[in-house]
Amino acid sequence: MKRIAALLVKDLAELRQSPGIFIPALLTGGAAILYPFVIAVIIPYFAGERLSDSSDVEIAELFYRTEPSIRGLNPEAAIQAFIFQQTLALLVGLTTVTGGMSVAAHSVIGEKQARTLEPLLATPLRTGELLAAKVIGAALPGVALTTACFAVYLALVGIFAEPAVWKALLTIRSLALVFLIGPLAALLGLQLAVCASSRVNDPRSAQQLGAIIIIIPVGVLQVAQFAAGVVLTAPILLAVGVALTVGNLLVLRAAIALFDRETILVRWK
């Protein structure tokens, strides 16, 4: 743990010298926050029509009748709560992954380009310890960004949405999605990115691999939530959390096997 902590501190210190790598993540987080407000607040305001008066909200109305956290809200507030809850998965998925993906892709490739990877691999640091430090160092900024975006999200919902809608987002399900499923999914994508970055010299290749693995399922889930009324209940989130935990352990074992430090030391140019 001391060796992991030492490398983690080193990587986080280096991140402070390159704040520009977080610009794409900040833009993605801002877009993910704005998206549901366009649907739930901005368009109805300029159209002069309330969501509850529209004929295209059957799924939201069903959600309103069955979801305990919003049964006490009026129809307009309940539909807004439905939209803000269903888009929360998009916010968590995009910000957590993009917040750490650039860091993960550069974590090994940046060491290669700076020619500091060879001395690092020549130390007694084990491969598992090296990968753990790299993945954790990439995940922490993503989790921090997601937490900040969720706080801004709640604040804006409290200001612009119907009264008490923000309280409907403070459920065990929503908090588990933000602070459990999001980090576990990010770790899976980041491990794949770090593993890929040990094999390639182009950070974009590693970024694209990790992003495809995580962002495509998030997009499919988003469509399923609105088109088919899929609801992420607590048992579903628990099952997803267990599956992600197992997946992370398997990917970690595969990453350790694929990370050929001897080849990197001898043949890398």
Q: Each residue of 203-240: pLDDT tens digit?
A: 555 555 555 665 666 666 666 666 656 667 778 888 88
Residue 132 binned pLDDT confidence (cut-offs 50, 70, 90): confident
Q: And the tokens for 72? A: 């006490």
**Predicted local distance difference test score (pLDDT) of residue 37:** 95
What is the domain extent for residue 90?
2-267
Residue located via tokens 């999001």: 182
The average confidence (pLDDT) of the chain is 77
Q: Which of 23-27, 68-72, 200-204 has the highest mean pLDDT?
A: 23-27
Residue located via tokens 């598992």: 128
Which residues fall within 8 angstroms of residue 56, CB to CB, at 6 or more apart? none
**Burial class of 39 by CB neighbour count within 10 A (0 to 12, 13 to 18, 19+):** middle
Residue 45 pLDDT more than 80? yes
**Percentage of the chain modeled with pLDDT above 90:** 11
Domain count, the chain: 1
d(Cα 162, Cα 44) in Å, to the nearest integer? Answer: 13
**Predicted local distance difference test score (pLDDT) of residue 158:** 94
> What backbone phi and psi angles, to 5 degrees, belong to 149?
-65, -40
Q: Which of 130-139, 164-173, 200-209, 213-222 has the highest mean pLDDT?
A: 164-173
Residue 266 binned pLDDT confidence (cut-offs 50, 70, 90): low
Residue 264 pLDDT more than 60? no
**Predicted local distance difference test score (pLDDT) of residue 226:** 61
Burial 145-183 (b: 16+ CB within 10 A, else e): bbbebbeebbebbeeebbeebbbbbebebbebbbebbbb
**Predicted local distance difference test score (pLDDT) of residue 257:** 77
Q: Which of 72-76, 123-127, 200-204 has the highest mean pLDDT?
A: 72-76
